[in-house]
């Protein structure tokens, strides 16, 4: 049995230590946000966040993940109460088939954890490992920019200094 910390909760998982996290998330924990796109770290549909950094869950054997903090799409918000990044994707209508989107959101989440105000080219460079076949790229980038600036103004408001650009 392996203990995994996913979205702040501990889970006991009965799977081989070499099993990649993606299959455990979907088959054992019922967390279907992360998607199987290639199983080879080539498409990013499986992207989750491990200790604040983006990782391909299709290539992360659970044996290495004990004691690590794993965040999936489900940890960012719910349908009724979406988190800021999910809110931004909804507002920008950044999805066609939607298959790449959970991976895109998790990759963006890791970026915004590291850097609150990324430039447009920094966003593009960071999002590179994630592929989209429907051509939704421009909306995805707009959603990430939108989330970044929403976080910025929220921070400015709470610090009491007003909107400072």
**What is residue 71's three-state secondary structure?**
strand
DSSP code of residue 114: H
Q: How would you class 102 by CB atoms within 10 Å of its CB: exposed for 0-12, middle for 13-18, buried for 19 or more?
A: buried
CB of 15 vs other proteins, minimal distance in Å: 5
Closer residue to other proteins (CB): 53 or 164: 53
Closer residue to other proteins (CB): 67 or 160: 67
Closer residue to other proteins (CB): 60 or 148: 60
- Copy the structure tokens of residue 127: 């999002």
CB of 105 vs other proteins, minimal distance in Å: 16
CA 160 to CA 128: how far, in whole Å?
A: 36
Residues within the interface to other proteins (CB under 8 A): 1, 14-20, 23, 38-42, 50-51, 53-56, 59-65, 129
């Amino acid at each position: 049995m392996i203990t995994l910390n996913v979205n702040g909760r501990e889970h006991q998982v009965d799977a081989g230590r070499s099993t990649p996290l993606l299959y455990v998330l979907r088959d054992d924990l019922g967390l279907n946000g992360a998607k199987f796109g290639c199983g080879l770290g080539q498409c990013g549909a499986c992207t989750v966040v491990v200790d604040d950094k983006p990782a391909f869950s299709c290539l992360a054997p659970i044996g290495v993940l004990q004691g690590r903090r794993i965040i999936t799409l489900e940890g960012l918000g719910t349908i009724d109460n979406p988190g800021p990044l999910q809110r931004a994707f909804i507002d920008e209508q950044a999805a066609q088939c939607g298959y790449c989107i959970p991976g895109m959101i998790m990759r963006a989440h890791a970026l915004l954890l590291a850097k609150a105000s990324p430039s447009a080219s920094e966003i593009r460079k960071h999002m590179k490992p994630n592929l989209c076949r429907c051509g939704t790229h421009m909306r995805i980038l707009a959603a990430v920019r939108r989330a970044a600036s929403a976080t910025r103004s929220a921070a400015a408001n709470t610090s009491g200094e007003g909107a400072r650009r």
